Structure 1
Amino acid sequence: MRPLRYSINITIDACCDHEAGIAPDEESMRYWTAEMERADALLFGRVTYEMMESAWRKPATGTWPDWMGSGDVAFAESIDRAKKYVVSSTLSGVDWNAELVRGDLAQEVQRLKQEPGEGLWVGGVTLPRALADLGLIDEYEFLVQPVIAGHGPTLLAGLRESVRLELIDRHGFRSGAVALRYRPTRASA
């Protein structure tokens, strides 16, 4: 069974607004590109899918915008070619190497996890909270930015029950950011 990993940038006060942290630098872009490459497929809710598509889909011209540095291009190419699943009851169709996921969320995500491969990656805010409530997330990865936002949406706000975690990896960045990877601890029988 391939694991489901939730990865997101957050501030020290757990704000997960994508504009609240520090702009990505070359080092963090390399890190996120490697994370994208580790995933067999990406799982998005509608809002995250549309946001990622507007930022990282290759333009129809076939040429990346001039503002993109080499790290941005590598990340964009990685996410552009990745298989994507989009959980949405409002979209009538998707493209960008994606397919819609409809029906019972728990059953559909379990089905995706049962497929062979190295892992699924989920980002965003609303969908990961629902998946955490269902106990479907196998790994949590937070890239903690050295910023206190003081406002905005916070990580997993509204979660029905707490999730105990065990630290399995950490990686520091020159910027002061820290990537922390956790696995949920399973209750003893």
Structure 2
Amino acid sequence: MRPLRYSINVTLDGCCDHREGIPDEESHRYWAASLGRADALLFGRVTYQMMEEAWRLPATGEWPDSMPDEMIPFARTIDGAKKYVVSSTLDQVDWNSELVQGDLGTAVRDLKAQPGDGLFVGGVTLPLALANLGLIDEYEFVVQPVVAGHGPTLLAGLHERVELRLVGRQEFGSGAVALRYEPV
């Protein structure tokens, strides 16, 4: 059974807005390695479309000149990864992707039951639903040294408290800290 890991950047006040606490070169290397530990990515529609817009290799086969060199390994990792997309509004997906349909719990349990190293889920809404179903095996937060003062916030609306134990920690030169937890 492959584990489902929820990974996201978050500010000190719990904000998960992708425009806050923007990763630097060191954290992009960290995220590329973290994504590399997964066989596939699991996204909701909003995260999938946002990631595709930002990280899909252009038809030219070249990354835009505006993309800093330190982001290219991260971009290559996301672009090349197998992706599963949970959506009730999309009829089809491409970009190495497959739609996940039907009952969310059943579909994700089936994905987890396949052999492999793991699944990576990002975003806000889908991970909340998965946490409420008790399907997340690891929580990975890179806490950025920023107080955003607005939302969306991390796992807002969680039905029950989830007890976690720290299984990994890494500090970055920027003051960000990567924390990995498993449910107790």
SS in 1 for 2:99: strand
Structure 1: gaps (5+ residues) = none
Q: For residue 20 of structure 1, what is the aligned residue in structure 2?
A: 20
- Taking the aligned partners of 2:97 and 2:74, their CA distance within structure 1 comes to 18
Matched residues in 2 for 1:16 and 1:29: separation?
Answer: 16
> 1:64 maps to which residue?
63
Q: Structure 1 counterpart of 2:14, which letter?
A: A
- Specify the SS of the correspondent of 1:6: strand
CA distance in 2, matches of 1:24, 1:50: 20
Query: Residue type of the partner of 2:20?
Result: A
TM-score, normalising length from structure 2?
Answer: 0.99
* 1:120 partnered with 2:137: no
Measured in 1, the distance between the counterparts of 2:70 and 2:169 equals 21
**For the residues of structure 2 that align with 1:81 and 1:3, how far apart are their CA atoms?**
20
Gap regions ≥5 residues in structure 2: none
1:41-78, CA deviations, whole angstroms, 9 ceiling, x for partnerless residues?
00000000000000000001111011212221111111
AA aligned to 1:56 is W
Please provide the CA RMSD for this pair: 0.6
| Match in the other structure for 2:86 | 87
Q: Percent sequence identity over matched residues?
A: 71
Equivalences, count: 184
Q: Normalising to structure 1: TM-score of the pair?
A: 0.96
Matches within 5 A, 1:43-62: 43-62=42-61
1:37 aligns with 2:36: yes
Runs of 4+ in 1 over 2 A off after TM superposition: none
Q: Which residue of 2 aligns with 1:74?
A: 73
Distance 2:161 2:121 in 1: 19
Instruction: Give the letter aligned to residue 17 of structure 1.
Output: D
Structure 1 partner of 2:7: 7
Corresponding residue SS for 1:35: helix
